[in-house]
Amino acid sequence: MRTALLLVMAITLFLAPFARSGGQPTVASMPPVVVKTIPASGDTQVDAGLKEIRVTFSKEMKTREMWSFVKVSDDTFPKTGKPHYLKDKRTIVLPVTLQKGKTYATWINSQKHNAFRDTGNRPAVPYLLVFETKN
């Protein structure tokens, strides 16, 4: 049920700019999306020694202290440090401490938490990052 609700929200966020731009989408009018993560979502062989998660968006983001790394559960959320953006203003780095043989999951934005926003204040489309560390 929650997944369906998030899908509806993502579709609504995706289609809203069409209405505002007279039906002509542009990169500038569309919300930002996650284009790359390190580690990759779905990776089951992540080294537990990895010290940071990187998330790269499709466009420049507001780089003030605004982010929404949203817990799926306490058990699947890594121990973290303070996030910071790289100079490209598209990549945010989250320092982490990981354990061997564990599944980690976090939403990058969600229905209720959407602080990842582009410079035009459009929230990023929610993205689920889930991965497993090797034993």
**pLDDT string in tens for the chain (135-residue length):** 565 555 556 556 556 655 555 678 898 899 999 999 999 999 999 999 999 999 999 999 999 888 999 999 999 999 999 999 999 999 999 999 999 999 999 999 999 999 999 999 999 999 999 999 999
Q: Domain for residue 61, yes or no?
A: yes
Cis peptide before 95 (omega within 30 of 0): no
Domain that holds residue 56: 32-132
Q: Domain for residue 11, yes or no?
A: no
- What is the value of pTM for the model shown? 0.83
- Residue 23, pLDDT score: 73
- Structurally, the chain folds into a number of domains equal to 1
Q: Domain for residue 102, yes or no?
A: yes
Q: What backbone phi and psi angles, to 5 degrees, belong to 34?
A: -75, 125
